[in-house]
A = this chain, B = another copy of it.
């Protein structure tokens, strides 16, 4: 197994309960685990009870801060259909629900409907013309959260300028990404990767700071092909302190593998 697979593994405890260990490797700042990482753990437990293997939509409501350490996921199957299972879950630490989820699961290897793609992949230069975010942090002495050390993220230089105090004003983060150490990303990894880029709002010119997620929904359309993913994350509407971040990830086969949207609180000036 790889680090991500190990760090998101769940152990069946019986009665639709699963044990997990939240590790420090996927934290973002101050020891706070990345929200998408927690959704990946919970979704593995949900899949353990569903009649279908792949999450096609997972919504997580973040209720209380989660900590590094043991967690339990309690799963309730709401519906078992021919094509879909729908499942509720809660991730619990020390008796408190930290993250509440709803998800739909299907078999993404058995698709039998129309395909028509008007959406375009992110505009990205070849990887050789982009900047390795970890190397840039090392070179400039800027902050690299632990989760970034678990990833290979390559961004256009202008997209990464925010980390040197020069946001590009687009409200977008774009880049190539994959797990470090050549670990291949599975469908559950998409839930993490959809939340792993720096907040797109950091490139908007609005204040940079703590941007807590209230709710995040990720739709998964395909098990990703091996290799790199191309990601685009954008915030278009910051209103009264609330913002959305819309994301897309595309695989090397040229297919959109997931669409994400979260509601978060904007940092204060």
Chain A positions within 8 Å of B, measured between CB atoms, are 56-57, 59, 61, 63-64, 78-79, 83-84, 86, 88, 97, 100, 102, 104, 108, 111-119, 171, 204-207, 214-215, 217, 219, 221-222, 235-242, 244, 255-256, 259, 261, 263, 265-269
Contacts and interface: CB of A to CB of B under 8 A. Distances in A.
A238 B268 CA distance: 38
28 contacts: A57-B214, A59-B59, A59-B215, A61-B78, A61-B102, A61-B104, A63-B79, A63-B86, A83-B265, A84-B214, A86-B214, A88-B100, A102-B102, A104-B263, A112-B241, A113-B268, A114-B206, A114-B269, A115-B240, A115-B241, A117-B236, A118-B204, A118-B236, A118-B237, A119-B236, A217-B217, A219-B242, A239-B256
Copies per complex?
Answer: 2
Contacts of A100: 78, 86, 88, 102
A237 B215 contact: no
A219 B204 CA distance: 20
Contacts of A217: 59, 215, 217, 261
Contacts of A219: 242, 244, 261, 263
A237 B221 contact: yes
Given A116-B205, A214-B57, A111 B240 contact: yes
A268 B242 CA distance: 38
A237 B268 contact: no
